[in-house]
Amino acid sequence: MTTPSDLNDPNAPAPPQGCPAHAGGGSLDASHAQAERLSGPGLWQDPHRMYRKLRQEHGSVAPILLDGDIPAWFVLGYREVHHVTANDQLFARDSRRWHAWDKIAPDWPLMPFVGYQPSVMFTEGPEHRRRSGAISDALAAVDQFELRAQAERIADHLVDEFAGVGEAELMADYAHRLPSLVVAGLFGLPEQETPALVQDLAGSLDGGDGAVEAYLRVRATMARLLERKRERPGADVPSRLLAHPAGLAEEELIQDMLVVMAAAQQPTANWIGNTLRLMLTDDRFALTLFGGRRSVGQALNEVLWEDTPTQNFIGRWAVRATVLGGQKIKAGDLLVLGLSAANTDPQVRPDSYVGAAGNNAHMSFSHGEHRCPYPAPELAEVIARAAIEVLLDRLPDVNLSVPTRELVWRDSVWMRGLENLPVEFTPAYVG
């Protein structure tokens, strides 16, 4: 990834014309004197309370401070998130536009999110369409019926491991392991390499201490996998990317594989966990365990509205000065997209449940050219639905083994997921 020192490296990719990072840095204005810190112990146990506070004090766009008191803008409003994501020429993805690089240390915890990399995440215009098109084609070749069958087989195997015990911790034993094993199969990754990869993906996406080191380990794993696929290609995503007419370069392939792997594993695991939590704690869904009125599909969709796995996304950088949500945005300012906040914007959804069923207009997969590429959301839903349906079919009387109030959310600005989900059930015979 490009760090502040890389920006002065003549061999580094050229910055956009007029890149503020090469103009000595800068800072946001006095409106950040009363900015809310977007980090700290316990802050993300109840993010909706913070969203309400920010809306009351600042409206749909609020000044915030990231780790190390680095200023940015937090886009809370549904309409504003839609506007930002639909206008790439005004709110762009190339982080070299940031005017604050002189304040960013190489080991800043959020460097994996903002340090420029030659990945599809930071490309723009025709180059982004070339790269995202290759990813979409590689994913579109996945047979969704085979994917469902593979997810069910893995789910059954994982349930077998704890079904006879009568208790389990579903995040560690199930929700995190299942998508990692399914995605490992899609990538042709050896199963023995997946546990360490899952841990490093979580570490890099949470953005805490050690995030940079975790990111570098994930990158090294992708580089080794790519080398193996060059020698022995197969019916997998890396092999399809290698053979794609887009002609992706070595570093492009490594970076894009990393992006797809990260986007597929951790958010899907949290989607599974958050949905199981909803179905085990909300009577409207708990009834479905015994043939009630709400389905797994409805629960999956409601979670995307209420507790979306990717709750915030960093970021966009303003190409020129503009006004957004009544705030004066300067060229080079960093914007954090509040996807979860937008989904619960009272201007769009005054009642948190009205319209959720069957309504897919949420921002959980973002929007615009840089949204989650087709058909990735469909593949994630196939995996998540299979995981939940197999578990509930195999363990129909599964219940939480602790009071709901004791469930703890991971203290992450970016991902929304549980630390653990302990359950109990009647032990089942495993033949």
Residue of higher predicted confidence among 345 and 33: 345
68 located within any domain: yes
Nearest by Cα to 378 from 274, 311, 300:
300
AA letter at 41: P
Count the alpha carbons within 13 Å of 28 in the hemisphere toward its beta carbon: 24
Spatial strand order of the sheet with 422-424 comes to 167-169, 422-424, 399-400
429 located within any domain: no
347 located within any domain: yes
Q: Which residues sit opposite 313 in a β-bridge?
A: 337
Cβ atoms of residues 241 and 256 within 8 Å: yes
If phi over 0 gives left and psi between -120 and 50 gives alpha, with beta otherwise, what is residue 166?
left
Compute the distance between CA of residue 218 and CA of residue 255 in angstroms, rounded to an integer: 10
Quick one: how far is CA 50 from the chain centroid?
A: 20
The two three-digit tokens of residue 136, written as one number = 């979409």
**Over residues 39-46, mean pLDDT:** 80
Given a cut of 90, is residue 230 above it in pLDDT? yes
Provide the pLDDT for residue 422: 98
Given a cut of 80, is residue 7 above it in pLDDT? no
* Enclosing domain of residue 194: 6-424
Given a cut of 50, is residue 94 above it in pLDDT? yes
Q: What are phi and psi of 388, to 5 degrees?
A: -75, -45
279 located within any domain: yes
355 located within any domain: yes
51-55, 113-117, 320-324: which is most confident: 320-324
**Over residues 263-292, mean pLDDT:** 83
27: which DSSP letter? -
CB contact set of 153 (below 8 Å; sequence gap of 6+): none
327-369 pLDDT, tens digit per residue, is 999 999 999 999 999 999 998 875 545 456 668 889 999 999 9
Q: What are phi and psi of 135, to 5 degrees?
A: -65, -45
Cβ atoms of residues 16 and 331 within 8 Å: no
374-386 pLDDT, tens digit per residue, is 999 999 999 999 9
Q: Round the average pLDDT of the chain to a whole number and report it.
A: 87
Say if residue 102 is exposed, middle or buried (CB neighbours under 10 Å; 0-12, 13-18, 19+): middle
Provide the pLDDT for residue 243: 97
431 located within any domain: no
Cβ atoms of residues 267 and 380 within 8 Å: yes
The CATH number of whichever domain residue 89 belongs to comes to 1.10.630.10
The two three-digit tokens of residue 202, written as one number = 């979580």
In 10 A of CB 57, how many CB atoms?
11
430 located within any domain: no
Domain count, the chain: 1
195 located within any domain: yes
